[in-house]
Amino acid sequence: MFASVMRMSGRMGKEEATRVINQMLPRGQSIPGLKGGLVLLDEKGGTGLAIGFYESEEVARASAEARDRLRKDAASGVGASIASLESYEVVFASGLAELIQA
């Protein structure tokens, strides 16, 4: 599994982030190989992370153009700028479904 991490900075609030996520979900779900994602927000610090999980690095690279458009639209929708983009191989994940439902 492969992860794409977008670091954002700006005045982001939970309400704005939730609204933009709901608007972007249908577009994200149409990206081949996207398995899911997480959005982490530090409202006081004005930073956030959006993490997308993909079947493989190859699949993530193949969808780079669609992901780039989605990232830019999502960041501008919450009044943030993209501070960095990073890619990682996922080597361990446990209990994410239970954690999110808590």
Domain contains 102:
no
Contact 17, 41 (CB under 8 A): yes
Q: Which domain holds residue 21?
A: 2-91
Q: Per the structure, how many domains does the chain have?
A: 1
On average, the pLDDT of the chain sits at 85
Lowest mean pLDDT among 17-26, 32-41, 87-96: 17-26
Q: What is the pLDDT of residues 12-30, one digit of tens each?
A: 788 888 887 888 888 888 8
pLDDT at 99: 61
Position of tokens 């669609």?
Answer: 66
SS (H, E, C) 40-100: EEECCCCEEEEEEEECCHHHHHHCHHHHHHHHHHHHHHCCEEEEEEEEEECCCCCCHHHHH
What is the Cα–Cα distance from 63 to 49, expressed in whole angstroms?
Answer: 19
Domain contains 17:
yes
CATH number (domain holding residue 69): 3.30.70.100
Domain contains 6:
yes
